[in-house]
Amino acid sequence: METATVSAPIKVAVVYYSSTGTIAEIGKQIARQAEKVGAEVRLLKAAELAPQSAIDSNPAWAANAAATADIPDATPDDIEWADAVVFGSPTRFGNVASQLKQFIDTLGGLWGEGKLADKVYSGFTSSATTHGGQESTLLALYNSFHHFGGIIVAPGYTDPAKFADGNPYGTSHVDGQGSNPVDQTTREAARVQAERIVRLTTALKAGLATA
């Protein structure tokens, strides 16, 4: 399936929470691929809620915090700006990480004004183990998008790469407690998802403009 480069760039916000770096890497990959097919992209992270002592106690967590210090914290203004929003979260007991959920909970004002509706939304995740709650995390995340009046664009099995990745709900990765870095299978899944988001958001905007 071909992906057309957008003529008038759509705006994509990639908003993630990552403790030890897996979700950060997937988020960067999705942002790069969206830019590659012509979107204007903001790569953003949810603000950290954990105390510094907890971060410092885990070398991988501390290293990722330092490596991503230059990535801005997301604000509601970024969501209002975007035509499409891609949220990323590690799975926490089969659910969304509290840091990302806290950010989503700050969007009530925009929701009340109807400014979250009619945007495209999608998600990505990771877990330490196979079948470690990846699908339930994305489905839990997508519950919020229904309340927004958003349009969920999942990758489905629309590309051969998705049969290798195996998750129709979004890009996901098993990191094995940090022993399995993001690999080519996950990068290809991120490419498929990013290209599909840009393509369908572009079509949606064109349709709304002529409606």
- pLDDT tens figures, 80-121: 999 999 999 999 999 999 999 999 999 999 999 999 999 999
Round to whole Å and give the CA distance between 174 and 116.
31
- 96: Cβ contacts below 8 Å, ≥ 6 apart: 89, 104, 137, 140, 141
Q: Is 89 exposed, middle or buried (0-12, 13-18, 19+ CB in 10 A)?
A: buried
Query: What SS3 state is found at 168?
Result: coil
What is the value of pTM for the model shown? 0.94
pLDDT over 70 percentage in the chain: 95
Query: What SS3 state is found at 36?
Result: helix
Separation of CA 97 from chain center: 13
Query: Residue 210 — very low, low, confident or very high, per pLDDT cuts 50/70/90?
Result: low
